[in-house]
């Protein structure tokens, strides 16, 4: 089938602004309706009331929130971590680890991304050793053998799998290849003395291989992480959120897509990091109301003050399936045009999926059913 072109529409009716997200008509609330996330054609409607001012919300479609902090069980294997959300293209788990992994892990189902929510320690893999700490993304190419050794105390990870495909970096276009973060900040594993000491550990080594959701175990009479060197342009990498320098405009509230960190075939991973608020008097200073009707939207809250949400703390996750309008909570909306602070103070990971997500049993068990009412005016 031919790719085709979008149906050409250039029109306006009634009272409206000249530009999106700026200089709104007095007393109005803007709502964006867009195709292909924020990359396709869009319309901007100006409402007399906030578009999330519902009094009830019934049926299976609803905004949802999960307190992943309540998933307390620590699992020695990442494949025992509970599945939170999933579809055919992506699998999201939340994993707590309270000691060194007794076995190696290998994901044969796709590239793996670990986001370190809490803790620090060492990653040992085919390529060498990487230290990790809170706020790190650890990218593990499909088929990599690896194990984690937390330094002191437990670690907590958000696990994101690109099922049967890859993670890549987004096209930065006119901004250039060094925008958001310079590739020079990406760290790769080192074959150092600590890695060599790990290689020399005696005993049997088990490798737990996940393929099509099932786990098989291969046992070696030695440590299979025994490489003495490597070269090439494929390897695990570490990226910390504090090395991400967000793209922003003082005159215009940019869409979430500019914060894309990793992309896959059917979803994107974005990072919200501290940035200055917009200073232009007419610019929106909170996220705009939007119908992102082609994508499900997931936010994992890592650290800081989550200025657009009420009653959200670090370690929680919100899930907004496509099909309804969402945007800032009433308290945040009061600061739509004026912010008391000069900058945001939050770190969060967003996953936008092109296909509908299913909620795992683990998430359902820690859901906050009152979240749907959090848009009601106090």
| Sequence spans of domains, the chain | 29-65+246-375, 72-166+181-241
How confident is the model over 310-357, as pLDDT tens digits? 778 999 999 999 999 999 988 888 888 888 889 999 999 999 999 999
Architecture of 72-166+181-241 per CATH? Sandwich (2.60)
pLDDT at 6: 92
What pLDDT band is residue 367 in, cutting at 50, 70 and 90? very high
pLDDT at 307: 72
Which pTM value belongs to this model?
Answer: 0.96
Strand partners for 158 = 94, 115
Of 62-71, 135-144, 280-289, 301-310, minimum mean pLDDT range: 301-310
| DSSP structural state of residue 278 | P
pLDDT over 80 at 193, yes or no: yes
How confident is the model over 107-120, as pLDDT tens digits? 999 999 999 999 99
Q: CA angle 260-143-115, nearest 5°?
A: 35
What pLDDT band is residue 148 in, cutting at 50, 70 and 90? very high
pLDDT at 132: 98
CATH number of 29-65+246-375: 2.60.120.10
How confident is the model over 212-247, as pLDDT tens digits? 999 999 999 999 999 999 999 999 999 999 999 999
Q: What is the DSSP string of 209-248?
A: EEETTEEEEEEESS-S-------SS---EEEEGGG-----
- N- to C-terminal Cα separation, the chain: 51
Sequence-distant (≥ 6) Cβ neighbours of residue 347 within 8 angstroms: 135, 241, 271, 272, 273, 274, 302, 303, 304
Q: Is 358 exposed, middle or buried (0-12, 13-18, 19+ CB in 10 A)?
A: exposed
Q: Do domains 29-65+246-375 and 72-166+181-241 have the same CATH topology?
A: yes
What pLDDT band is residue 66 in, cutting at 50, 70 and 90? very high
332: left (phi over 0), alpha (psi -120 to 50) or beta: alpha
Q: Whole-angstrom Cα distance, residue 173 to residue 332?
A: 32
């Amino acid at each position: 089938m031919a790719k085709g072109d979008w149906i050409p529409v250039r029109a306006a009716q009634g009272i409206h602004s000249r530009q999106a997200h700026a200089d709104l008509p007095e007393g109005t609330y803007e709502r964006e309706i867009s195709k292909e996330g924020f990359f396709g054609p869009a319309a901007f409607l100006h409402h007399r009331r906030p578009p999330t001012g519902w009094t009830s919300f019934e049926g299976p479609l609803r905004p949802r929130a999960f307190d992943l902090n309540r998933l307390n069980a620590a699992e020695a294997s990442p494949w025992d971590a509970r599945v939170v959300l999933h579809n055919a293209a992506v699998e999201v788990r939340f994993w707590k680890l309270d000691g060194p992994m007794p076995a190696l892990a290998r994901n044969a189902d796709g590239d793996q991304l670990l986001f370190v929510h809490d803790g620090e320690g060492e990653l040992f893999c085919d390529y060498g050793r990487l230290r990790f700490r809170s706020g790190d993304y650890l990218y593990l190419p499909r088929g990599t053998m690896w194990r984690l050794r937390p330094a002191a105390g437990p670690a907590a990870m958000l696990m994101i799998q690109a099922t049967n495909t890859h993670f890549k970096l987004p096209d930065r276009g006119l901004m250039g290849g060094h925008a958001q973060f310079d590739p020079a900040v990406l760290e790769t594993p080192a074959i150092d003395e600590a890695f060599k000491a790990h290689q020399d550990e005696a005993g049997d080594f088990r490798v737990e291989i996940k393929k099509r959701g099932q786990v098989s175990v291969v046992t070696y009479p030695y440590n299979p992480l025994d490489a003495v060197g490597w070269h090439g342009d494929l390897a695990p990498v570490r990226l910390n959120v504090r090395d991400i320098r967000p793209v922003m405009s003082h005159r215009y509230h940019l869409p979430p897509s500019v914060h894309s960190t990793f992309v896959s075939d059917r979803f994107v991973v974005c990072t919200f990091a501290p940035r200055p608020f917009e200073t232009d008097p007419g610019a929106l200073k909170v996220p705009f109301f939007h119908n992102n009707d082609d994508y499900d939207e997931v936010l994992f809250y890592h650290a800081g003050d989550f200025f657009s949400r009420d009653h959200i703390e670090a370690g929680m996750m919100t899930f907004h399936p496509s099909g309804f309008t969402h945007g800032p909570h009433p308290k945040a909306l009061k600061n739509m045009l004026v912010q008391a602070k000069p900058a945001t103070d939050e770190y969060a990971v967003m996953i936008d999926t092109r296909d509908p997500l299913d909620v795992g049993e683990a998430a359902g068990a820690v859901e906050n059913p009152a979240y749907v009412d959090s848009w009601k005016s106090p």
